[in-house]
Each structure stands twice: as structure tokens, then as C-alpha cells.
Structure 1
Amino acid sequence: MAMRWYQQSSHGTKPPTSENQRLAAVDTATTEKARRSVSVRNPRRRRRPALVAPRATTPIVTAIATSASRAVKRDICSTDKATEPTATGGPTPRRSPRWSTRLWGRRGWRGRKHSMPRRAVITGWGRCVPPVTLSNADLERLADTDDEWIVQRTGIRNRRLSHVEATDLAELAARRALACAGMEASDLDLIVVATCTPELLCPSTAATVQDRIGAIGSAAFDLNAACSGFVYGTSVVAGLIQAGFAEKVLLIGAEKLHFAMDYRDRSTSILFGDGAGAAVFEPSEDGAGVLAVDLGADGGKGSTMVIRSMGSQGEPGPTNDPETFRLHFEGQAVFKMAVQSISASARRVLELAGLTADDVDLVVPHQANARIIESATRRLGIEADRVFMNIAELGNTAAASIPMAISDALDAGRVQPGDTIILTAFGGGVTWGSIALKWGDRTEPVGIHVGELPDTDMTVFDLLRENLDFYAPLHVDEPPIS
């Protein structure tokens, strides 16, 4: 056996003279055999990338780039071509490699050619407008006001009041947005509802909508930033999608504000209406989607807009004081803050996106007040024909106003593929925010949901009767309603 080993392995060397020499020779022969076997491996076999580059090859330069919250690793691959020094002294290829970007995923390295940032793009939209209209002529019977005074100060002629709860409005808007996107509710990863007038404090409106539409297994939560709610919600949704934590998200703005209105107080009753709007967001890597976000708040001025009845501070007592339930609103202070905040926030978001006012195709602002919108956009240097408003017929619907306006703008043909759009808002808290986005390819719905709200025979005064009776003690010294 020893001689046979010697004949096969010694290759003409002298046989080992001791056991230690024999074992050393075995180790040497085994190493040599392994070395030679490398050269006869299948050359077509796919190799895993080496963790450490061989010393004899060109060094691998690795850079880490961050897009949104996802880290992207770039390998500038070595080539056989000569290299030339860069400004920092390191080598760089004369010709860029064909595949230079590799993203680390759950299944390992995935090559991508010409990779674009992952962004959240709107692929579906819908709204729900209640059927009962409260006109300026109706308000003339309730408060010391008239149509000319209201239009001059707010730009509003009508607003809608809901005979059902905000959850019902949110559900119908959601179904319409899903049909528009050609999506099943079961495909959703998350539902977010922006509202400051939820039907219940718990469970959330989002959770109730999730159950009603059949979005089994999706996450759901409410968000309260008052009139800025849809902008705040868009920032949350965009961040989750860009980070890869969600793929398909439904964002809803829904409000039933008229319960908090004292309709004999013209400072608030002329402004607000009910409604809901929704948008479906999906990831895009073609350059479309949310480009930049700017958010802000100043809690020190929160007392300018307050609804106490929805929190523990407004817990009903023995007298159920109407003053606790009605909206407290300081119009002049809000006007000044809104104009300043909207214009400053929109300017910042343009800077963050690397854009100017001239690059903007359309501004879709929160429909707070026509004078606020006109003053703020004038400060930005954006003409009226690049600003979308539907406040005249719907009034101020808080968190629902922007998604409803987006839906109306698309129906009116005001949005085209690739348009640069600014969403901007100011609301209670006080809060403000702006979104810069590039619209995707879809401007027509994939499908249409034909459902409607339940019918009602109620007139606007039938709908308001309970409200008027509840707030009547605040107006005992005033003449009765005509």
C-alpha cells in the first residue's frame, strides 16, 4: 500500500523515510491535487461573487447611495481596460459597465439596469359627495348673512351635508378608488383614514372600512391633522412605499363636519361641508410619484381651531353644554397663518424637489377659502389658471378636500401624464404641509364602481333640525329662525 501511494503521488521523488515524512507528503499531494482541480471545473458554472477580491485583480470600488429609505449598493466592476486616476486619486473605469447597480433583496443580489428611485404614485381615485345641499340662500334663513357677503369672503356658494356617517362616505370613496385602480380590496397592504370627525374614537374609521370592503389582513389606522390630514397621510404612505414596507395603500380623507356647526354663527357655518375622497398608491420606478415632502406644526396656536367634544376634555356632563360641542374658529387669525404657511411650505417643497414655480403644472390646495388660496398662490408666483379650485360647490371639507379636488381635476381633464403637481394645506393644530409629485401615466379610470349612498327624502332643514335645537340655548336673545 505504501509503495502504491509512492508510485501515484511521489512523481519521481524519493520515498518517505519516516512516518512523519510520509504524512507531510500526503498533505502536500492533497493540496497540489486540490489546486489542479480548480482549473478543470466547469467554466460555465455560475460563480458566487467573491467576498474578498483577489489581490491580483483591480480593486472593487463600493459606494453606498440612499434613495428614500432604501440603501443601494453600487459596484463599479473591474475591467481589463486600463484605468485612469480620478480627482480623489482612485481608479475608475474608462467605460461604465453595462450592469453597475445591484440591489440586495431577500433572495440575494438582483441586478438592475438604469435603476430609478422607488416612489409612491397615485393609480386610483374616487370621491363621495352627499346628496343634500346647503346653499347660501338657506344660510340667509339661519344667520345674519347673505349670498353676496359669503361669496365675497369665501368664494363658496353651496356645501353638502351628509345624512349618513363619515364611515359610510369613506367606504364609498374607497370602493370607487379601488375600481378606478382596477384593484381588489384584498390586494391592499394598508388603509389610512385622515379625519378629525370620526364616527367613533375606537375602533378607528380605517378599521371599520377595512372590514366593510373586505380588505382582509391589511393594516389600518386613522390620522388626525385636521385640514392638513391628506397631505400628512400622503407623506406617511409615500415613506412606507419607498421603504418597501408596503406595496398597495389606500388613503382616505373623510369628514362629517356639520354636527359641530352652530348654523346661527356665520363665522363658521358658511365654510364647512361634508364629504370623502380616496386615492390608491402603488410603487413606481419610472420617475413618477412623490418627489418631496414638507410638513410643519405650531401647537402654540392650536386654540384657534378647536372641537372639544371629540376628546376626553369634551366628555358630556349633566348639562351637555352646546358650547363644548361646537367648533371654535378664529377666522382672522387662521386666514393670516394659512396664507403665510401655505406659501412658505409650497416654496420649501419646490426647493427640496429641485423645482421652481415655473415647473409646476397644477396646484391642488386644501379648499379652505378662495381668498386664502388666491393670496397664497399669488405669493408663489403661480397664476390662477394653474390652480384648481372646487370650493364654490363643496365648501371646506377639511381632510377630504384635496382627494376630492384631485378626483374633480382628473374628471375635468386638468391632469396629464407626467404633470408636476403641488398639494398644499393648512389646518387645525395648527398644522401645514406640502407635497411635490410627478403624476404617473394613468388619467382615466380602469373601472367604475356603480354603488351609491342610501337615498333620503330629507330636506336640508330636516337634516339640520336636531342640530338647530341643540344649539338653540346659545341664541335665546336672537329672533327665531324664519
Structure 2
Amino acid sequence: MYNSKIIGLGKYVPENVVTNDDLSKMMDTNDEWIQERTGIKERRWIEKGSEDTSATMGAKAARIAIERAGLTKDEIDFIVFATLSPDYYFPGCGVQIQDMLDMPTVGALDIRNQCSGFVYAVSVADQFIKTGMYKNVLVIGSEYHSGGLDKTTRGRGVSVIFGDGAGAAVMSRTEDNSKGVLSSHLHSEGKYAEELTVLGPNIKKWVPEILEANDPEDTSYYPYMNGQFVFKHAVVRFSEAIIEGLQANNLQKEDIDMLIPHQANLRISQFVQRKFGLRDDQVFNNIQKYGNTTAASVIIALTEAWEEGKIKDGDTVVLAAFGSGFTWGSVIMKW
């Protein structure tokens, strides 16, 4: 039985920085209001006319991760791409990566688990490697939110939260079962699907209906979030997923060297940190700089934590996420 471990990390974020003060010029909001509710100070939004997309940002992050892994693109056996904002309704971004990186005709799989996307993607790659099917799997989380947000006062409750960006990891086979992914734990509760969603377009409201309606007041194409409801569920599910992972590996909360939570809201991360009694240096947050980049948030944060030397060989690293679906999960790994 093989194990899988991360051997290369990379990230890419657009150059365009959008501050809370910038948003106050678009909608009725201000820096204090946004920071108090979310902890966010700024985020990256793709500028109009830029060539950046979910796929191209993912490709940029992937090239860095592959180089840091000491591999070439031809040594990647499979691609797993997590996003809620693909370049096309179909096909998914995974096949675009295969083309953009000029890779052999390897398989490409797309994950649609929104904020939990990277955690789900890691678990999928881990299983492919552990069963011996693939040796090196490229895992990407990338999001282009800014083009689909309601940037008026009507949409401020959602639009101030989200940012654009991408991260990538190369996961590889190892025979050292004391290193790498120890376990992953995934959950969903679909009865709450419409508490955090984009309702249109969908199969009940397809192209003819969209064209016929042409209704400027139709908000179904913008993200909707029942903020307080999501928050209450998130703090519970985050904790449950982390505890489940620790128990599965006979670990205690004191054994956590680094917790990388999905960057949904700084208040959620701080709540979880207090619940587990973790120090500031045991939890990595960067939502202040990037906002919520959904499927990209965990991998961008993991990459930054590693780049800053906050993750060392032998550390117990916990990834945890909660989001639309509802979906949530955790990954426990030994670095």
C-alpha cells in the first residue's frame, strides 16, 4: 500500500488589488463594516481585459508547483481541477490544463465542491495514488469570482467577501507510510443546498428562458448566501471534521502543528482556533489579503504557509473546509 504526499506547491493571484475603500466607491459599504464582519482588508480581482481565467491562473500555479516538485509536465499522470467558476459551462478546466501545459493525453477530472473543493480534490488524488493507479497527480484549485458578482449595494453581503486566485499541488507516491496524507474525511448535507448557491442558469431555466426573460432585476445569476445560517453551520462542521480526522489517527489537538482552514471568514477561523486552544502560530490565515477564493483558498494558504517556513518536515498539518452544498471535510497529513 502506497501513501501520497505533497512534493510541490504553487500559487498565482491577479495583480489587481481591490481594497475595502475601493468597494465603498461601488456600493454602500466601508472598511470598518467589512473588516468587522469578515476580517477582509483587500482581495484580488481580475482586471477587465486581462487574459486571466480560472484555467489560465490554474496553469500558472501548476507550472510553479511542478517545477518545485522537481518534475517535468510529462511526469504528471493525472489532473484534478477544483472550481465553481470554470471557463466554460462545459468542458471543465482540467482538460484546458492538459492543453495549456502541453502535457501527454493524461486523464483530467473536475471537482465541483465549491469551498470544500480542494479538500475533496486532495482526497481523490490520494486514493488514486494509494491504489497504485497513478504516481504523480496535479491538484489545482482556482476561482474567478469577480466577473460574476453583484457589485452594487444590493449584492454587498456577498460581493465584499470573494476574491480571485489559484493554487496547485503535486501529490506523489511514497512508500514511507509515516509521511503524507494520513486520512481524509468528507461529508455533505444537500438539504441546505439553496442556502449558498447560484440558482441560474439551470436546467429549469435554460437558454431559451434566459433570452426570453431578459430581466435586469433577476438576481438568480448572482451568488446568494444566507450568511448567519452558513456561519452557524460552518463553525460546527469545521470542528467536527477536525475532531474526526484527529481521532482516526489517534492524535490530540495538541498534536496539530499547522491548521489550514478554508478562508471563508476570519471570525470562523478564530472561533475554531479558540475551540481547539491553538496558538496564532498554529493556524494560518490570509483571508485579510485575498478574501474568500473558495476552492483555491486552502491551497493558496497552504502554499504561503510553506513559503514562509511555517510548515516543517515532520509537522502534522490539518486541512479543513466547509461550504456550499453543504459540503465539508478534513485532511490530516504528516509533512
TM-score (norm 1): 0.66
Report sequence identity in percent.
Answer: 38
For residue 332 of structure 2, the aligned residue among 414, 419, 436 is 436
| Larger Rg over CA atoms | 1
Q: Which residue does the alignment assign to 1:76?
A: none
Structure 1 counterpart of 2:296, from 391, 400, 407: 400
User: In structure 2, what is the equivalent of residue 190 of structure 1?
Assistant: 78
Q: Which residue of 2 aligns with 1:450?
A: none
What CA distance in whole angstroms lies between the structure 2 residues aligned with 1:376 and 1:329? 21
Map 1:33-72 → 2, pairs under 5 A: 70=1
Contact 1:124 1:180 in 2 (8 A): yes
- Show the 5 A alignment for 1:58-457: 70=1, 118-162=2-46, 163=50, 164-264=52-152, 265-286=155-176, 287-309=178-200, 311-315=202-206, 316-321=210-215, 322-439=218-335
How far 1:320 moved relative to its partner?
3.7
Give, as a single letter, the amino acid of the residue that structure 2 aligns with 1:367: Q
- 2:44 alignment partner, SS class: strand
**CA root-mean-square deviation:** 1.2
CA offsets 1:177-226 (integer angstroms, 9 cap, x no match): 11111111111110010001101122220001111102212110111100
CA distance in 2, matches of 1:138, 1:346: 36
SS at match of 1:295: strand
Displacement, 1:314? Answer: 4.6
Give the unaligned 5+ runs of structure 1.
1-69, 71-117, 440-482
**Deviation readout 1:423-463 (Å, 9 max, x if unpaired):** 00001001000000001xxxxxxxxxxxxxxxxxxxxxxxx
Q: Distance in 2 between matches of 1:233 and 1:271?
A: 23
User: Which secondary structure does the structure 1 equivalent of 2:103 belong to?
Assistant: coil
1:365 and 1:373 in contact (8 A); partners too: yes
Contact 1:343 1:377 in 2 (8 A): no
Decide whether the 8 Å contact of 1:374 with 1:384 is kept in 2: no
Number of residues of Structure 1 aligned to a counterpart in Structure 2? 323
Q: RCO (CA 8 Å, sep 6+): is it higher in 1 or 2?
A: 2
Answer whether contact 1:132 1:160 (CA < 8 A) is retained: yes
d(CA) in 2 for partners of 1:247 and 1:311? 37
Q: CA deviation at 1:313?
A: 4.0
Q: Which runs of 5+ in 2 are unaligned?
A: none
CA shift, 1:310, in A, is 5.3
124-133 vs 379-388, greater mean Cα deviation: 379-388
TM-score of the pair, normalised by structure 2: 0.94
Partners of 1:185 and 1:203 in 2: how far apart?
Answer: 21
Equivalent position SS for 2:88:
coil
Distance 1:309 1:272 in 2: 19
1:119-160: CA deviation from partner (whole Å, max 9, x where unpaired): 110000101100111110011112221111111111101011
Distance of 2:128 and 2:69 partners within structure 1: 19
4+ runs deviating over 4 angstroms: none
